[in-house]
Structure 1
């Protein structure tokens, strides 16, 4: 199924539609009568579903700031006549409008996610998931995340910037004495603002501590993490019990990386030279040298709604070198087709590379150049 093929909307229109639907679905009576219409709206594409999810998440944060006003109470001796019913109808409409405005305000507050800006300022890191207001003087944690196929940068209120790779999640926990972050999923680049509070990133069984520096942390399957230093200096500490031969902490210099594996026994932290071909990942670019197309497809498909595939095994085994933007599958397929002299078949469920266009392609076929 092809998704999100509607004409481009004006700025903020999709967000307003999502907010309107969220308000409707919170009303049991309207939700029951308009559920099919709502499901059809969601089915129009991933952008619609993402906008609705962001509205729902933003509202769960924003409602802590100020609850929508309750309906005016009926006098105890009032009968539900026409005037009362009209008053209730007006009150209900007013409450729904307030609800929508509250949600839109919450979205603007939470990193402008629904507006779709590529770089977002996080002004209030205490306004996020955590304990209810008043439960503690300690600020709650801020959750920042990216969807599948998305790379986005977030500016924190201390001036630091976090670039998140596709499908990544970081919890930010700042207080007067420290800046603590937890990478729970995916990959992040941290550009740290210099100040007196230490800046520590926890992931897997390790902790990275830095002051005024740039570094990447990649959380791989099985709690395996890779830390790479771009600029400055960081200390990488493992939480695994250590010995003299397997020290708990190592210091990285620019261009170095270290891996921490989730192992029950001590492992030596081996510092090695970082691979230079992945240094531009926040821009969606990567340099490949003699890579298999099958491996390139697998990496690009981490960002794709419609996957790249080879029509035959020999296509997957073709090797290629160059700089490619892997976050745009259609563009990547065209570039690979031009470089390798392959046909590009664009269908509803995949973008395939082939030696030639088939007699009856399942989709549009761009012949080899």
Structure 2
């Protein structure tokens, strides 16, 4: 007679207080982003995620929401708290292992709010420029896998990548757009009386009329200039700290306030607007982050350290499964398909 596997056996050690599916997903998400993920953990995880489509769906939803809301920073904060409690001068196995149950217990209190936040995000993403809204304000959003082009009141054109949300407003003195998530390419109509301001996270771009690309990642914002001239800096900082970009130049602005070096890029890499995603020596974690905006079945990084591996690759936005085969052939990575997700592990 086959023994029935208990619910507790499908969860990480120290999960006695877990009472809901959202909490189970939050616990596994914390494990996947943790420092110690054993073979036993992997087997237990695969059994859990294969048990029900709802498990994979809940995990994928929380993964995307935590990234979009940057709430994975909570994990770092809790780790710092754990380090302080041990009064140790080094990050050791004691913190990573002995302190795990307490750390997870604290992290689980975020599960329910995160699930609710996820529902809010999904609702916001389907909102379009609603009829009856004020004429000087706008909001546009694209769905998963969708590339959308819209035209603003002044003739400026926006191309939204998948799962992108922008809001903005026009006044007599300026035009303003905020990239809340995703990626947008702007073809701005020149108006010297009304500069166009783009903000995303802590990044601000000032422009009169030009074409450029803005992409928001987990803890950075990329700005790449196709034509014209723009100033890129930190929101609320003085103009003298800004960087001026020329056509063919890009810059990455990090959440901690650091501005990366201005570097060259191939304008052809902006071909995502035509449905072709190109990456040149890009971090695997950044590639996966963007690809998930185009996929029904999300990709998860089961081993956090593989996120720094570099990828050079080109793939049609509607054929991202090709990426999985290529990454297994070119990197020390294996892809494991589960119910509702694909997990990448180090070989």
TM-score using structure 1 length? 0.47
Higher relative contact order (CA 8 A, sep 6+): 2
Q: Which has the higher helix share?
A: 2
TM-score using structure 2 length? 0.49
